[in-house]
């Protein structure tokens, strides 16, 4: 049974879209709101939040205007997304006018029927999902946000375009709905994507803290301002001369340094805990050395007792550095670095490991066509318990406690793509549609993602 028919049965809507869908003019017997018990059956928090965001009225049963105009408006929703149909702003205005009236169910049914035939813009889908959530249909709202309506109704090339919404408003609403349905890992994953993109998004940090606490997740350690006084002395026992600090994180600090003997630059990473991080540092160095080859950072030297590791120096820096510099255009065309990055992940997975920390800061660029993965401190064999992760880049399944799985790296890859595409899109440098689809597929339901790096390579070609 299609989503349209399921919703029609729940809402008591019009006939299926094959005959002429009747538009209720407010005068007939069908103009009856669902029973209060049906409308109130909801997980409450998501519905209230959704209604507040959309400016829904606090009272119900405001009768629709009688006459043909309102009915004509509702009927036009069926053609949303076509050249002759209403524009995005008009669709949203019609939904707002229908909200809280006896026309509400009809409006939703017409719009969902349109979604089963074509892809509608994110703002329209968010508005429709918001209205479904306000009616207490969290599952229906999520299906609209996740693009399930078109995927179920259509097979072939059009179905591939039915992707989850990626706007901030859509992600926040999806997060609230996941939380309302008890799917906290997915809720946390969605809100972390929002925070990485827009740290000041209203309510996002509060949700993040609350859901992390509910999951029992450890709070990531904040870097100390005085860490440099802890790690700098170890440089005296190394063959390198520190030039400048280039990156700082919870585990350690990376410097640009110079090997005075060989006359070459290196990336000198010093762990905050020095000797206490011996096992972590040893694993990182050994794994990077074992995986040596295209797409993997080169290791030159390591001292586990003093807590440092010397890596190849890559002057261009990371994808994060490029984005922060405001030079996102340097990352176009996307295929030049995204495909080699997928091949690097395929090599890691073929060797039986998961990187477990794929994010823009860990993708270095020797040049645009040669991305290099660094920081193997969290890498684990396939199936081993995972540990830690960078907020915003951890898959919902891993947040829920799943052992190390290649699909976690695929999720991180999708997030890297998303961060880049959000900056490139306004520049109009190339057609980004295929990469947007791949990113959303990587971030979508676990069973729909490429299953490992090899499948990701095929999807990226």
0.95 surpassed by pTM: no
Rounded to 5 degrees, what are φ and ψ at 180? -65, -30
Q: Is 81 left (phi over 0), alpha (psi -120 to 50) or beta?
A: left
Say what the pLDDT of residue 152 is. 54
Assigned token pair, 164:
């989850």
* CA atoms lying within 13 Å on the CB side of residue 108: 31
- Compute CA distances 214 → 20, 43, 114, 188, 369, whole Å: 49, 17, 38, 10, 42
Separation between Cα atoms, residue 372 and residue 364, nearest integer Å: 5
Of 359, 347, 215, 218, the closest CA to residue 294 belongs to 347
Task: For residue 119, say if its preceding peptide bond is cis, omega within 30 degrees of 0.
Answer: no
Nearest residue to 249 (alpha-carbon basis) of 328, 359, 99: 359
- The two beta strands, 370-373 and 363-367, are antiparallel
Q: What is the pLDDT of residue 92?
A: 93
Q: Which two tokens stand for residue 415?
A: 């997030």
Joined together, the tokens standing for residue 254 give: 């990376």
Specify the length of the chain in residues: 461
Separation CA 362–CA 213 (nearest Å): 27
The pair phi, psi for residue 184, each rounded to 5°, is -65, -40
Cβ–Cβ under 8 Å, residues 296 and 373: yes
Give the pair of three-digit tokens for residue 73: 């408006």
* Whole-angstrom distance, CA of residue 316 vs CA of residue 285: 22
CB 133 within 8 A of CB 104: no
Residues of the chain with pLDDT under 50: 1-4, 13-68, 157-160, 220-234
Structure confidence at residue 164 (pLDDT): 82
Looking at the chain, the domain(s) classified CATH 1.10.510.10 span: 319-460
Cα–Cα distance for residue pair 186/164, rounded to 1 Å: 13
- Take residue 456 and report the two structure tokens written for it: 């990701």
In CATH, the architecture of 227-312 is 2-Layer Sandwich (3.30)
Name every residue whose Cβ is closer than 8 Å to that of residue 275 and which is 6 or more positions away in sequence: 304, 305, 306, 307
What pLDDT is stored for residue 175 in this prediction?
92
Report H helices in 135-277. 138-145, 148-153, 157-160, 168-180, 184-197, 204-215, 227-231
| CATH topology assigned to domain 319-460 | Transferase(Phosphotransferase); domain 1 (1.10.510)
């Amino acid at each position: 049974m299609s989503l349209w028919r399921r919703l029609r049965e729940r809402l008591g809507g019009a006939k299926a879209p094959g005959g002429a869908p009747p538009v209720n003019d407010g005068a007939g017997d069908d103009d009856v709101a669902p029973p209060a018990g049906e409308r109130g059956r909801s997980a409450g928090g998501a519905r209230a939040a959704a209604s507040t965001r959309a400016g829904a009225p606090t009272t119900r049963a405001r009768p629709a205007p009688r006459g043909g105009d309102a009915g004509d408006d509702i009927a036009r929703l069926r053609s949303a997304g076509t050249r002759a149909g209403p524009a995005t702003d008009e669709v949203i205005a019609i939904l707002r006018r229908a909200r809280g009236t006896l026309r509400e169910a009809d409006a939703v049914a017409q719009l969902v029927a349109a979604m089963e035939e074509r892809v509608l813009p994110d703002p329209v889908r968010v508005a429709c999902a918001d209205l479904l959530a306000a009616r207490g249909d969290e599952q229906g709202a999520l299906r609209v946000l996740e693009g399930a309506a078109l995927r179920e109704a259509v097979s072939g090339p059009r179905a591939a375009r039915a992707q989850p919404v990626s706007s901030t408003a859509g992600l926040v609403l999806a997060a609230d709905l996941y939380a309302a349905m008890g799917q906290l890992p997915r809720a946390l994953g969605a809100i972390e994507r929002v925070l990485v993109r827009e740290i000041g998004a209203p309510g996002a940090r509060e949700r993040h803290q609350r859901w992390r606490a509910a999951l029992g997740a450890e709070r990531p350690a904040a870097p100390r301002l005085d860490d440099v006084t802890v790690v700098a002395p170890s440089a005296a026992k190394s063959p390198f001369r520190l030039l400048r600090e280039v990156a700082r994180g919870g585990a350690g600090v990376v410097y640009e340094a110079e090997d005075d003997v060989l006359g070459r630059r290196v990336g000198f990473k010093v762990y905050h805990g020095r000797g206490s991080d011996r096992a972590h540092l040893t694993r990182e160095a050994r794994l990077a050395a074992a995986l040596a080859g295209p797409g993997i950072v080169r290791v030159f030297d390591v001292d586990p007792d003093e807590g440092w590791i010397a890596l190849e120096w890559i002057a261009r820096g990371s994808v994060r550095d490029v984005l922060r510099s405001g030079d996102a255009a340097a990352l176009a065309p996307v295929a030049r670095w995204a495909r080699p990055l997928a091949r690097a992940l395929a090599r890691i997975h073929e060797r039986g490991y998961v990187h477990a920390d794929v994010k823009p800061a860990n993708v270095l660029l020797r040049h645009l066509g040669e991305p290099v993965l660094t920081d193997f401190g969290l890498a684990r064999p396939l199936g081993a318990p995972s540990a830690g992760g960078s907020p915003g880049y951890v898959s919902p399944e891993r947040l829920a406690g799943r052992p190390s799985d290649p699909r976690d790296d695929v999720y991180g890859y999708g997030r890297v793509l998303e961060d880049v595409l959000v900056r490139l899109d306004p520049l109009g440098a190339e057609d980004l549609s295929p990469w947007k689809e791949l990113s959303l597929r990587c971030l979508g339901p676990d069973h729909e993602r490429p299953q490992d790096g090899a499948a990701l390579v095929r999807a990226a070609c």
